[in-house]
Amino acid sequence: MSDLVLRKEIIAAANAMSQSCLSPGKSGNVSARNAAGHILITPTGVPYADLKPQDIVALDINGAQLAGSLLPSSEWHFHLAVYRARSDVGAVVHTHSLHATALACANREIPAFHYMVAVAGGGSIRCAPYATFGTEALAEYAVAALAGRKACLLANHGQIALGETPAKALAMAREVETLASQYVAALQIGAPVLLDDAEMRRVLEKFKTYGQPGKAAAP
């Protein structure tokens, strides 16, 4: 895929994230890894609707700016840390979606209250400890919370979702927000009944072969 196409996909995901209220205003950010192993990321403080392909900032894997006159997202540290730790990740989406952020502000993970929690790769969606935004400490906590997972919450902050492409990472962010909203609703009734580890392992195994060949799908 050419850089131009990838830049357009990043912008499309950022606009969809904003328009769907997954991240209000200028909050949140989107990145992707190109064929050369460099990271393309949304710039800081620019309304997504105003973004043009040339506005997307290119960084090497260590954070040196390669292209673009604008500054990268203030969260570039954890984006790059994820790519360094995870060769399977092609794109990262970070949002401040309502219910995921509410749980994060309570420092609560999303446990196995529903089998679809397994869509993020494990028996829970972890919540990383709090650290100031844009810091290496936050990057370190995020990478740990994402180990073996496709998403995590960030305490007092929001959520991170991973995927092969910007569109797939955005789809994962939507899944996390849906699960967060369901969990918050369940908590209002009482303590949800959680599925045990054995059942979540069965679900994870079934997810490996669910759907049409070559297409990601969820029951």
Residue 167's CB is within 10 A of a number of other CB atoms, namely: 15
Active site residue 205: no
Chain-centre distance of CA 75, in angstroms? 12
- Identify the three-state secondary structure at position 109: coil
C-beta separation of 165 from 9 below 8 A: yes
Catalytic residue, from 9, 75, 175, 177: name it.
75
User: Per-residue b/e over 185-218, b at no fewer than 16 CB within 10 Å?
Assistant: eeeeeeeeeebeeeebeebbeebeeeeeeeeeee
Which residues are known to be catalytic? 75
